[in-house]
Structure 1
């Protein structure tokens, strides 16, 4: 996958918005105002930062050189994933969806119900 494919996939998810609150070199994707994916544009090696359950993120970081603790983010919850030529598109989409669903699960109940089919 590349950054444009990640962007297209994120925008297919219900309720997702994108913006650049940190400047033109960083795009974030949100659900109900809560960030579930950071997409830095300044790196030569394309990457995304996603939220995962702490134990899964730790396991992935231990098993894959292409996954590390989120740079400038909470290293318990956020994980940087190199996306080009590292993992299948389906695997990357699975992690993006997992991040999205993790953030949705923390929303107030009335908002969570809007996204319960994902």
Structure 2
């Protein structure tokens, strides 16, 4: 059986970033990672496939959706600024990691300077 990026891998990458919190504002089936109260990642806690929704710059989001069949416009989010990744054998683990970190960095860049984690 081929290993691919898992729900636990998503949690590990998110939790390793500075000043993050895991919350469940939408109920026990959804995990929402925030930095200083702002969302940067949303993932399902049960069921398959594992999905993670991340913030992305609009031109980058458009290219990701165009070039990767496992990436779609953000589910229940602004489709220009968010993408949803369906994790499975086609999902590139390094790209998933990079997109999680990029989402975090985009959210941090939008925070007031005095609120940004160091």
Secondary structure of the corresponding residue to residue 96 of structure 1: helix
1:58 aligns with 2:41: no
* Correspondence 1:1-118 to 2 at 5 A: 1-112=5-116, 114-115=117-118
Q: Which runs of 5+ in 1 are unaligned?
A: none
Deviation at 1:84? 2.3
d(CA) in 1 for partners of 2:11 and 2:49? 16
Deviation at 1:67? 0.5
**RMSD over aligned Cα atoms:** 1.2
d(CA) in 2 for partners of 1:95 and 1:110? 25
Deviation at 1:42? 4.3
Give TM-score, length-normalised by structure 1. 0.91
Q: Which runs of 5+ in 2 are unaligned?
A: none
Deviation at 1:89? 2.1
d(CA) in 1 for partners of 2:71 and 2:47? 15
Give TM-score, length-normalised by structure 2. 0.91
Secondary structure of the corresponding residue to residue 61 of structure 1: helix
Q: Which has the higher contact order (CA 8 A, sep 6+)?
A: 2
